[in-house]
Structure 1
Amino acid sequence: MPAIVPGHVSHTRRVPKRHRFRYRTYQWLVDIDALPDRGALASFQGRDHLGDPSLPLRDNVAAFVRAAGERLEPQDRVLMLANARSLGYVFNPLTVFWCLTPAAELRWAVLEVHNTYGGRHTYLARPGRSSLRKEFYVSPFFTVHGEYDVTLSLDHDRISVAIDLRQHQTRVFSAAFTGRPTPVRRTTMLAAALVPYQVATLIRLHGIWLWLRRLPVVREGLR
């Protein structure tokens, strides 16, 4: 730690119109007790994540999981998979906090979701496969209901996050990230610095494309 994780993100929308894309990306994997600071190209700040921005990130993670009925033990290690703030900007559609026991076993994971309207919501996931009730407005083309099926995997040589959205017992949307942790090098750090801009741009371009295809917009989350 820290590491940069080159990988691929894929999204598949199944109804009412099919739409799929896949692109290469780079994320950081960092220990929240030793957050790296690479100046303008990469920094991690409390205001970009859950909880009180004036407190250490570990304290905020611990407070969230305690409210959800779990504990962060003093000897546990918490790794964060996220984009860094780059050139004053950051956008993380999904940040994953992985809690590892001293034996490197996954105790739980926290999924922090951001939308493009400035909102955020946090879920607690168990090891392996979890089912979580959808509680947050993310896409303007989906209502705030249904369940997420979440599958997480964190190994030395592979990281994967897979999320399926089910509505009315039908799988309507899938998103996945798969990558391999690598040492931080200048080339990969420069590539990772562009990712927040890439992600924000692609989200809007795909949204415009779906709107042009007359996909109905759901505004319930903006009330």
Structure 2
Amino acid sequence: MSGFHSALYAGSVMHHRLRPREHRLRYSIFYMLLDLDEVDMLAGRLHLFSHNRFNVFSFHDRDYGEGETTSPRARIERHLREAGIEAGGPLRILTMPRILGYAFNPLSIYFCHRRDNSISAIFYEVSNTFGERHNYLIPVARNTKLPIRQKSQKSFYVSPFMSTDMVYSFSVVPPGKNLAVSVIGHDTQGPLIIAKLAATRQDLTDATLARAFCTYPLLTLKVIAGIHWEALLIWLKGIRRHHRPSPPDQPITLGRDLEAATRLTQDTTNVLR
């Protein structure tokens, strides 16, 4: 729907495990980018999309955070304030909606903006198949060049075949005509897993939603089924399982903006000279 920041992004996801047995998968997928200030307007104009009620496609507040029904905007802005990150601008979430009432999102990404529309932070909301959820909040420096490069210690158990003793490196081209998200998981031996999403923008209309439903039928069910199928294949390759620890005590892990860290190092070096 032209005139809205919200859109549909269609593309593909790739996962590549490097060790101790190589394992690769790629599948077609679509996401919605929803401006949280536009959700109710979209629900009022689109026949196939609703907010907090059943439809072919729907966005439910309780599918995010701790399952509360409070405004996602209020929740995210509270986390930004607590982390000392500037808020007040647009908040846009990249996520898979419910399809015929069901959704499972391994990763939803919030693009948090300052009042001048520049990105102040990226908020990664990660869910595992054990009903647990954790968040990685990473600031973005002003005038950051693309792609946005970020890093965080892994603190949440996702796959039974990877430990939490890892570091995530993120590379993000925010939504525009195209979007790209890359996550590399490093352990003590180096890169272990690479995950990439690449997608192209389409206007959010009933026509594009109907086409997406036909092109990716029951996508969210296929995602959860695919996760278990790939886990079986990995297990059959003899990759050992890791013990599942208790979830982190805190709901958010704060990461680092690599460009800001590089600038700080350069500025410190210049001062010392």
Please say whether Structure 1 and Structure 2 have the same fold, judged by a TM-score greater than 0.5: yes
| Structure 1 residues 210 and 165: alpha-carbon distance in aligned structure 2, compared to 1, 3 A threshold | same
1:51 is displaced (CA, Å) by: 4.5
* Aligned residue identity for 1:142: M
The yes-or-no answer on 1:106 pairing with 2:97 is no
Equivalent residue number for residue 145 of structure 1: 165
Distance in 2, Cα, partners of 1:174 & 1:158: 20
Alignment deviations for residues 122-144 of structure 1 (CA, whole Å, 9 cap, x no partner):
01123311110100000000111
Q: Pick from 101, 106, 110 the counterpart of residue 88 of structure 1.
A: 101
| Structure 1 residues 161 and 136: alpha-carbon distance in aligned structure 2, compared to 1, 3 A threshold | same
Gaps of 5+ in 1: none
Distance in 2, Cα, partners of 1:190 & 1:80: 23
Aligned identity (percent) is 26
Matched ranges for 1:94-173 at <5 A = 94-127=107-140, 128-173=148-193
The yes-or-no answer on 1:206 pairing with 2:230 is yes
Distance in 2, Cα, partners of 1:193 & 1:120: 26
| Structure 1 residues 68 and 169: alpha-carbon distance in aligned structure 2, compared to 1, 3 A threshold | farther
1:46 is displaced (CA, Å) by: 1.4
Runs of 4+ deviating beyond 6 Å: none
TM-score (norm 2): 0.76
Equivalent residue number for residue 32 of structure 1: 36
- Give the conservation status (yes or no) of the 8 Å contact 2:126–2:133: yes
* Aligned residue identity for 2:120: R
Distance in 2, Cα, partners of 1:218 & 1:52: 27
Equivalent residue number for residue 215 of structure 1: 239
Distance in 1, Cα, partners of 2:190 & 2:167: 10
Structure 1 residue matching 2:84: 3-state secondary structure: coil
TM-score (norm 1): 0.92
Gaps of 5+ in 2: 44-48, 141-147, 248-273
Equivalent residue number for residue 17 of structure 2: 13
1:26 is displaced (CA, Å) by: 0.7
Give the superposed CA RMSD. Answer: 1.8
Q: How many residues align?
A: 221
Distance in 2, Cα, partners of 1:68 & 1:15: 35
Equivalent residue number for residue 84 of structure 2: 69
| Structure 1 residues 209 and 169: alpha-carbon distance in aligned structure 2, compared to 1, 3 A threshold | closer
* Aligned residue identity for 2:244: E
Distance in 2, Cα, partners of 1:24 & 1:200: 14
Structure 1 residue matching 2:74: 3-state secondary structure: helix
| Structure 1 residues 200 and 52: alpha-carbon distance in aligned structure 2, compared to 1, 3 A threshold | closer
- Give the conservation status (yes or no) of the 8 Å contact 1:125–1:150: no
Higher Rg: 2
Distance in 2, Cα, partners of 1:3 & 1:193: 19
